[in-house]
Chains A and B, each alone.
Chain A
Amino acid sequence: MANFNAQERTIECKIVYYGPGRGGKTTNLEYIYKAGRKYTTGEMVSIDTKGDRTLFFDFLPLGLGKVRGCEVKMQLFTVPGQVKYASTRKMVLKGVDGLVFVADSLEIRRKANLLSLKDLQDNLKEEGKSIFKMPVVLQYNKRDLEEAGLPIMPVETMEKDLNRKLNAPSFPGSALKGTGVGPALKRCMELTLKHLRQELDWAD
């Protein structure tokens, strides 16, 4: 649930990057932090969690306009994939407003994508939320690996695997090269604000 800070007249929303370990969540956020330096406030927090890193920073999406005269601030997070990081995951997912699910396009990671999505669904359920009623976008990451001759899944297969029931906007991309990163985040922020407006009945 977004946080309204009366003192600073800002609305803080939380967007979480979720997905299988080594799928590119961190690379996504690092790219956004570097490319969108003028929109970020403060440092990027990076915590070394086994097999992954947990990242956090604040992002001010100027292009999205104000809501009722308030600046909108996005808190961007990644979640450590390993099961044992339950407390971190719980804190990060608590009150999440929007999700970017970063799926790995490598054929060999097909099962890992499915398990992670299921895991996300279960973790949201624990927070009393349904993945079907939340702003979610999918990113099919590592499309660039095709050029390197590595076997990757066709987008249609990934759509069928991950997005058949979810029916969320999806973006092929490469976090390493920065393609598809901006559009996925932008769409997620738009959906998040739209959802908040509906939920809080803010007619603009």
Chain B
Amino acid sequence: MPDPPVLQGDLTFVSLSDLFQLLGGNGSTGVLQVNCPYAAGPATVYFQEGDPINASNAKSKGVEAVNALFGWQEGTFSFHRRPVQVPRTIKKSRMQIMLDALRLLDEGAIEKVGAPSRTGGAQPAGHKGSGTVLWESMPVIKGPVIDYMYVVEEELFSHGHRVVTEGRHGNWIWIILEGEVEVLRDTPKGPVTIARLGPGSFIGTFMIFLFEGGIRSAHVSAVGNLRLGLLDSQRLYGEFAKLSSEFRTLLLSLSRRLIKTTDRLVDLHCGTKKLPFTVKDKEIHWKAGTKREEAYMISSGEICLACRTKKGGLPLISLEREDVFGNLPFAHTGQEPHDASVLASKDLELERLDPAGLQAEHARLSLTFRGLVDTLCSSISVTTQIARHIAETR
């Protein structure tokens, strides 16, 4: 049984430089482990009396491994106090490492790793697909780890095979084990690629848990050879049923949010001017970038999300009764509260949710469920980014 960590937390709250200074100031000896869902694997840094002396991650060792860590925009860390018996491969002082790494980061020599909305879309897609690509630098959304516990069957597909057809019925979810897929929508201007998914991502959303929710909202095609894992639906239903009603509402609301954001993206691509909601009757409720930390469920009325673009505000989607909005630390959608304003109708009535409770429930989810939430939020984030890109360039 490993010893419990003496310090742990989230990199979005405590930055790596703060953490290094804290461990340094205390002259700590032990092992720091850092996990980032978007990196190839965890990283380990050994500290001797406050100074990092050795480090490794999936790709590199020594000071290079420490430098790479400064590009991790989000993730979790834990520090275990224990005697360190590894050779000293890092000779620089703590402050030198930090200042040097931050310089390299600012000069672009260290890759930023994080949700697409935080890094500005790294990892451009490798293959060319069959639809019009809306944005050349569209990132491939990947998941952190593959949890085989839920996989009941593996399926192989060759390049170009259509795995899912828009409008058809299907209440199951796959996880991508190997390869990539492109997600397409039919539009009056022909098929368009709206997302690319890679290993660890999921095909299908929480909508399958709704009685009438099994209608596929997009096509999915294999890009290159593809290996999918079919998930155990019974087991997924079982876990979904055990969640609190607030959390279930949140998951369904996020799933609807993705569909609405995608609809809006398609409208923007086709040049459709009419919005499916009104903006004029609404007033600013939360300004983008607000530091507010609450989350709400809408009981009545309507809100509209508008994101900032270089050409001004872009009305994005509307949310209605039973939809959730606000600041949820585990759900980076690239929309409110940081990157989109909330406009509210006059008759808006809200029910306040408990973000800490939701966060705790999220932490208790199975790896598969957490991965589903991640794929969903990353997809919303990427779709929002493409919509913004289209609005800015056309």
The chain A residues found within 8 Å of chain B, CB to CB, are 3, 5, 7-8, 12, 42-43, 45, 47-50, 54, 56, 80, 84-88, 91, 94
7 residue pairs, one from A and one from B, having the closest CB atoms: A88-B102, A45-B96, A87-B102, A85-B106, A47-B99, A91-B17, A45-B95
Task: Report the minimal beta-carbon distance from A58 to chain B, rounded to whole angstroms.
Answer: 9
Known: A43-B93, A47-B96, A91-B98. A85 touches B25 (CB 8 A): no
Give the number of chain B interface residues (Cβ < 8 Å).
Answer: 19
Task: Report the minimal beta-carbon distance from A186 to chain B, rounded to whole angstroms.
Answer: 23
Q: Which residues of B contact A48 (CB under 8 A)?
A: 103
B105 within 8 A of A: yes
B107 within 8 A of A: yes
A8 vs B105: C-alpha distance when bound (angstroms)? 32
Chain A residue with the shortest CB-CB distance to B27: A7
- Contact of B93 with A87 in the complex, beta carbons under 8 Å: no
- Contact of B106 with A84 in the complex, beta carbons under 8 Å: yes
Partner of B99, one of A42, A50, A86, A88: A88
A133 vs B95: C-alpha distance when bound (angstroms)? 28
The winner among B17, B27, B99, B107 for most chain A CB atoms within 10 A is: B99
Q: Which residues of B contact A91 (CB under 8 A)?
A: 15, 17, 98-99, 102
Q: Which residues of A contact B93 (CB under 8 A)?
A: 42-43, 45
A88 vs B15: C-alpha distance when bound (angstroms)? 13
Chain B residue with the shortest CB-CB distance to A75: B95
Q: Which residues of B contact A50 (CB under 8 A)?
A: 107
Mostly helix, strand, loop or mixed at chain B's interface? helix
A13 vs B106: C-alpha distance when bound (angstroms)? 25
- Contact of A12 with B102 in the complex, beta carbons under 8 Å: no
Q: Which residues of A contact B100 (CB under 8 A)?
A: 47
Within 8 A of A (CB), among B72-122: 93, 95-96, 98-100, 102-103, 105-107
- Contact of A5 with B26 in the complex, beta carbons under 8 Å: yes
Known: A3-B25, A5-B26. A45 touches B99 (CB 8 A): yes
- Contact of B106 with A54 in the complex, beta carbons under 8 Å: no
- Contact of A5 with B25 in the complex, beta carbons under 8 Å: yes
A169 vs B95: C-alpha distance when bound (angstroms)? 30
Chain B residue with the shortest CB-CB distance to A47: B99
Q: Which residues of B contact A7 (CB under 8 A)?
A: 26-27
Q: List 12 A-B contacts (CB under 8 A).
A: A3-B25, A5-B25, A45-B96, A47-B96, A56-B96, A86-B106, A87-B105, A87-B106, A88-B99, A88-B106, A91-B99, A94-B18
A7 vs B50: C-alpha distance when bound (angstroms)? 12
- Contact of A49 with B26 in the complex, beta carbons under 8 Å: no
The winner among A42, A45, A48, A91 for most chain B CB atoms within 10 A is: A91
- Contact of A54 with B99 in the complex, beta carbons under 8 Å: yes
A47 vs B100: C-alpha distance when bound (angstroms)? 6
A3 vs B25: C-alpha distance when bound (angstroms)? 9
Task: Report the minimal beta-carbon distance from A75 to chain B, rounded to whole angstroms.
Answer: 8
Task: Report the minimal beta-carbon distance from A11 to chain B, rounded to whole angstroms.
Answer: 11
Per-residue 0/1 for B1-41: is the Cβ within 8 Å of any A Cβ (1 yes, 0 no)?
00000000000000101100100011100000000000000
A48 vs B99: C-alpha distance when bound (angstroms)? 10
The winner among A42, A43, A47, A85 for most chain B CB atoms within 10 A is: A47
- Contact of B25 with A49 in the complex, beta carbons under 8 Å: no
Chain A residue with the shortest CB-CB distance to B22: A3
* Apart from the given pairs A47-B99, A49-B103, A91-B98, 13 other A-B contacts in the complex at a CB distance below 8 Å: A5-B25, A7-B26, A7-B27, A42-B93, A45-B93, A45-B95, A56-B99, A85-B103, A86-B106, A87-B70, A87-B102, A88-B103, A91-B15
A85 vs B107: C-alpha distance when bound (angstroms)? 7
Partner of B103, one of A3, A12, A47: A47
The winner among B17, B27, B93, B103 for most chain A CB atoms within 10 A is: B103
Q: Which residues of A contact B103 (CB under 8 A)?
A: 47-49, 54, 80, 85, 88
A56 vs B21: C-alpha distance when bound (angstroms)? 14
